[in-house]
Amino acid sequence: MPQTILIVEDEAEIARFIQQLLAKEGFTCLHSRDGEDAVRQCQTHRPNLVILDWMLPGWDGLEVCTRIRKQGGIYDPYILMLTAKAEDFNRVIGLSTGADDYLVKPFSPMELVARVRALLRRSLRQEDRSQTYRTRHFTIDLDRHIATRQVSGAAQELELTTIEFDLLATFLSHPGRAWSRTHLVEKLWGDDFFGEERVVDNHVARLRKKIETDPAHPQFVQTVVGIGYKFEDGEP
């Protein structure tokens, strides 16, 4: 099945250029000219990746990104933000809108294709990984793609996005290990990731909201000052 990409761009020539470029690479492309339509198309067509322009009529790219992330459920597309200035993406990270990568205009066709493929490439590239990871409160079944938490003696299934699932699986694979952002990027996106490593912080924050009783004072996903993050839980 070809992967679907939604191009959110109000400039017709740029949108047509991107669409023709990605169609040649075998992707199915959709197009939206404004933010409200983009959110509707995500709900209807569920694209694998959204190429989202920063400057749009009506809702800007930040608003669209935030609304896509708040749709709920397990559907969670990768988002590649197009910006006119590299400095703009610092605001994206700071506002925790959830963009996965960014590309500064003007960009080369080869770089755009490379970044799209890097985001869509399969996560957690571990050929010899265990099928199941367990700690005292959590279980991850990699084959069935199910994550559960023990609450009051009962298993409660967690609704995690793909990135959140892979992030939790990485943590459970080595409880107590301190992971740098660089190592987490390699696990989640591979060593050909082009974006800002601080994007990891966004996904950690979102994971904490789903597994921690008090995300502001996390019990499980802990910050390691000067390094990154580690996962602490007891033996099953």
Burial 137-172 (b: 16+ CB within 10 A, else e): bbbbebeeeebbbeeeeeeeebebbbbbbbbbbbbb
Q: Comparing C-alpha atoms, which of 178, 20, 65, 89 is closest to residue 31?
A: 20
> Which pLDDT score is estimated for 84?
78
Torsions phi, psi for 29 (to 5 deg): -115, 140
Q: Does this model's pTM top 0.85?
A: no
Q: What number is the average pLDDT over the span 165-184?
A: 89
The full set of domains in the chain, from first to last, is 4-120 (3.40.50.2300), 132-231 (1.10.10.10)
Q: Which residues lie across from 29 on neighbouring strands?
A: 5
> Which pLDDT score is estimated for 55?
87
Give the alpha-carbon dihedral of 22, 24, 27, 30, to 10 degrees.
60
> Which pLDDT score is estimated for 91?
57
> Which pLDDT score is estimated for 93?
56
C-alpha distances (whole Å) from 9 to each of 56, 102, 111, 167 are 7, 14, 18, 30
Cis status, amide bond into 106, omega within 30 of 0: yes
Cα angle, residue 19 at apex, residues 16 and 23 outer, rounded to 5°: 140
Q: What is the mean pLDDT of the chain?
A: 84
Q: What is the pLDDT of residues 59-118, one digit of tens each?
A: 988 889 888 887 766 577 888 888 876 666 555 553 456 777 778 888 899 989 988 988
CA gap 169, 133 in Å, rounded: 7
Q: Which residues lie across from 223 on neighbouring strands?
A: 229
Q: Comparing C-alpha atoms, which of 12, 20, 32 is closest to residue 113?
A: 20
Q: What is the pLDDT of residues 108-137, one digit of tens each?
A: 999 899 889 888 875 443 444 457 888 989
Which tokens go with 101? 């990568």
CA gap 45, 35 in Å, rounded: 15
